[in-house]
């Protein structure tokens, strides 16, 4: 009996870690009503800023100062998110002297790096079902 109870509890714990969740990201602080907003969700330190778990691109509506994106069926757990407003449509974050971004950008948890991007640990947060809403303010 104790063995069955342990197995049932273990199954319940494992199922809760693999449950699907929805992440809603609101990107605020858009600088102009032009370009596209590129949003990525990162699953681990090893893939951070290299290989996104999910990515989306949203055209900036005229007059908008924010955009909303939902990523559905994400596994629960720690993730990080990044956003930038691609003003010139070249599909990358333009940088200037010393790699300083020329286009509006932001990370989850308002994470900032000292010289370069923040770490996954600084930007990561917990996605829990059924809905996890976050806001990323572009700088």
pLDDT single digits (tens) 87-134: 999 999 999 988 899 999 999 999 999 889 999 999 999 999 899 999
DSSP 31: S
**38-90 per-position pLDDT tens digit:** 999 999 999 999 999 999 999 998 888 999 999 999 999 999 999 999 999 99
pTM of the model: 0.85
Positions of E strands within the chain: 20-28, 36-42, 54-59, 66-75, 77-86, 105-107, 125-127, 131-137
Query: Rounded distance, CA 131 to CA 139, Å?
Result: 26
Q: Reply yes or no on whether the pLDDT at 4 is more than 60.
A: no
Name 17's Cβ contacts closer than 8 Å, sequence gap at least 6: 75, 76, 77
Assign residue 77 a region (left: φ > 0; alpha: ψ between -120 and 50; beta: otherwise).
Answer: left
> How far is Cα 82 from Cα 92, in angstroms, rounded to an integer?
12
Q: Which of 22, 50, 35, 134 is nearest to 84 (CA)?
A: 35
pLDDT of residue 112: 96
Say what the pLDDT of residue 34 is.
87
Domain at 20-137, CATH class: mainly beta
Grouping H, G, I as helix, E, B as strand and the rest as coil, residue 97 is helix
């Amino acid at each position: 009996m104790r063995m069955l109870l342990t197995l049932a509890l273990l199954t319940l714990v494992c199922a809760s870690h693999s449950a699907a969740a929805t992440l809603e990201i609101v990107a605020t602080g858009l600088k102009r009503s032009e370009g596209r907003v590129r949003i990525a969700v990162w699953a681990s330190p090893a893939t951070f800023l290299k290989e996104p778990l999910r990515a989306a691109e949203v055209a900036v509506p005229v007059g908008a100062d924010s955009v909303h994106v939902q990523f559905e069926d994400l596994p629960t757990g720690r993730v990080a998110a990044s956003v930038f407003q691609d003003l010139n449509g070249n599909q990358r974050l333009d940088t200037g002297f010393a790699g300083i971004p020329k286009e509006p950008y932001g990370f989850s948890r308002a994470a900032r790096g000292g010289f370069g991007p923040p770490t996954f640990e600084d930007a990561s947060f917990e996605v829990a079902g059924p809905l996890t809403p976050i806001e990323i303010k572009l700088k």
